[in-house]
Structures are given as structure tokens and as C-alpha cells.
Amino acid sequence: MTINFNRKLLIFIVVILLISLFAAGVPGSVFSKLTTAGEYNSIHYEYENMYQNLNMKSSYEKNKINLTKKINRLNIDTEIFQDQIINVLSDISTKNSIALSNIKFSEIMPVFKDTSEGSEESVELQQDSTAVCMKVTVDFDSDFHDMISFIEDVKNSETEISVIDISILLIDSDKVHVMLSLMFYALPLYVS
């Protein structure tokens, strides 16, 4: 019975001690220290993420500068301007002693690529989100050999041009009227 009484007394003293500790706020300060440590860890984690993002941003900017330099070295057209097209065609026509009589421009349009897998029955075209093109029609009168030279110079031009249609009308025995459909291409740069 004394052992049972001693246990009850010990339990009573422990309960009183716990009540007095809670009343004094000791567990609250322990819990607040634990939550402060959690907040510190959270802030430290956010800081580390921010630091990594800043490092990524600087490497992204360096990479962007390097890629822009490479594109400039490759001399890729990034936009289609009618005045540039006129300059290219004028240079080629002057080189081949041809006077252009008419130049017609279409709207700038997206380039479509063939996504079918070799079957001719179902041709699927998908818009290429990076490339754009403009159809240009050119009329001129010249002799046959100058026309051939003009077309070869267009195909070998530094500008991305494809000849998509040629219509030739014989005027005299050595003169022809040519209507040439060309496609000019560009790769726009969307830099943010």
C-alpha cells in the first residue's frame, strides 16, 4: 500500500510540475524555437532556390548571346522585308542584264511541312511554327540565255529562295516573256 501511495504521490508531483511548467510558458518557448528553426529552414531553402535561379539566368543569358552570335554568323534571314527582296532581285537582274517589269508580293505566311510517312494517298501538312515565307511573282522580258542565268543566280543566292513556277512566253525568235514565282523564306527570332 505504501508503494501504491508513493506512486500516487509521485504522479501528483509530476502533474503539478507539468502544470507549473505550462503556466510558466516553458513548452511554448520550446515549440517556438522549433517553429523558428522550421521557418529558418524554409527561408534558407527559398534562398538557395533563388540563388540557383540567378545562376541559371546568367548562364541562360550567356547561352542566348552565344546563340545570337552563331545565328548572325550563319546569315539567316530573321524577317522578310519587301525592300530587301527588291534589292536581291534587282542585284540579280542587273547582273544578268534583265529589266524587271513587275514584282508582286503575297502576305507573309507560315511554312508547312509534310508529316505523312511516305504514303501518297494521305498527305498531311503541319504548320512549322518557326519558319515563314512569302510568295513573290516577277515578270520580265529577256533573251533565253539571260533568263536561264537569272534563274540559276536566284537558286544560288545567299537568301533562301526557291523557284516554284516558271511561265515562259515566246515574243520573238530570241526574246521571251517570263513570269517567275519565287518563295522567300525566313526564320524569325522570338527573343524575350
CB 136 within 8 A of CB 182: yes
Q: Would the pLDDT of 103 be above 90?
A: yes
CB 166 within 8 A of CB 151: yes
53-60: average pLDDT: 80
For the record, the C-alpha cell of 30 comes out as 520550446
Q: Which residues is 163 bridged to in the sheet? A: 182
CB 149 within 8 A of CB 178: no
Give whichever of 16-25, 75-84, 161-170, 179-188 has the largest mean pLDDT. 161-170
Q: Would the pLDDT of 94 be above 90?
A: yes
Pick from 26-30, 144-148, 174-178: least confident: 26-30
53-65: average pLDDT: 81
- Give this prediction's pTM: 0.53
